[in-house]
Structure 1
Amino acid sequence: MTDSIRHLSIHIDRTRDDVYAFASNPENLPAWALGLGGSIVREGDEWVASDAPMGRVTVAFVPPNDLGVLDHDVTLPDGEVFNNPLRVITDGTGSLVVFTLRRPAGATDAEFERDAEMVTADLARLKELLESA
C-alpha cells in the first residue's frame, strides 16, 4: 500500500563509493543517524547503541556489497525488528541516497510523519557531513 511506505531521498555531491564507504561503517552512525543515540559499539557480532532514545538497540547491516545496498535491521529492546531498506545510487557525478520508511503497525498519521521528518533530518546530516569533508 502506498500509504504504508514512503521513499525519502537526498542528493549528495559525492560519489556512490564515498557515500557507501561512510554510511556502511556502523561507527559513523551516531554522527548522522541521531535516532540511534550518541554512540555505537561492537559487541561480538552485533553493533549496539545502548543510549538510543528507545533504549538498547542492535543494528545489523547486510554484508558489504558493490551494489550500494545498506539495508539494515534495528532490533528494539522488546525484540521487535525493523527492516530498513537503504540504497546509495549513482546520480550524475554524485549520489542519491534513498531510504524506504515503512509505517509501523498501529502508527498514526502524525507518528508516521514524525518518523519521516526524523529520517529526512538524518539524511540531511549525512549530506552535510559528506559534502563538508
Structure 2
Amino acid sequence: MDNGNRVSVPFNTVRPAVFYRDAMTSRHVSTYIDRPLKEVYDYASDPANLPEWAPGLCSSVDRVDGRWVAESPMGRIVLDWAPPNEFGVLDHHVTVESGETFYNPMRVTADGTGCEVVFSVRRQPGMTDGEFDRDANAVLADLVALKRRVEGA
C-alpha cells in the first residue's frame, strides 16, 4: 500500500531480527564539533596529532619504515589509516605487539556548520561489560579532547 512516499508492508511478512551469539557488539560514541568537516578531518586524519587528542591510545607517534608506530599503554603499536578521502572516513587498524590487529571504524560527517565525529567501539571476544564500558568511556574522553583541541577551547 502506498501512503505518499512510504510503502507499508503487512506485519506478518516482516522477518524477526536474528542475533548471532558470536556477533561483535558495537557502541557508537560521538561528539559534535563546532568546526567545518574538512578542518576536523584534516586534523584527525594526521596520526602525528594523536598524542594531542587520543592519549588513551598513544603517547608518541613516529614514522618508521613508512608506517606509523606509536607507544601506547598496550606497548608498541602500528597504526594503519584509511587513505585520504572526501567522505570523512577515518577508519584505522591498530596492530599490537602480539600481531593481533583491531579494526576501528571512525567517521566525520557534516552537521550544519560543524560536524559529528563517530567512533564505533567494538566489543572484543571475552571482554566483560565493565571492560567494554571502560573502552567506550576512554574513546569518549578522546573525542572530547579532539573537540577541545580543534575548537581551540
Question: What TM-score results when the alignment is normalised by the length of structure 1?
Answer: 0.95
2:16 maps to none
Specify the alignment match of 2:30 in structure 1.
Answer: 9
Structure 1 runs, 4 residues or longer, greater than 4 Å off = none
Q: Paired residue for 1:85? A: 105
Percentage of matched positions with identical amino acids: 52
Give CA-to-partner distance per residue, 1:36-85, whole Å, 9 cap, x none: 32110001121001x21010001000110011000000001101111000
Q: Which runs of 5+ in 1 are unaligned?
A: none
Structure possessing the higher relative contact order (Cα contacts under 8 Å, 6 or more residues apart): 1
TM-score (norm 2): 0.83
Q: 2:124 aligns with which of 97, 104, 111?
A: 104
Q: Of the two, which has the highest radius of gyration? A: 2
Identify which range, 33-42 or 2-11, moves more after superposition.
Answer: 2-11
Aligned to 2:82: 62
For 2:55 and 2:98, locate their aligned partners in 1 and report how far apart those are by CA, in whole Å: 20
CA distance in 2, matches of 1:73, 1:45: 15
Whether contact under 8 Å (2:24, 2:125) holds in the other structure is: no
CA-based RMSD of the aligned residues comes to 1.4
Unaligned 5+ segments in structure 2 are 1-18
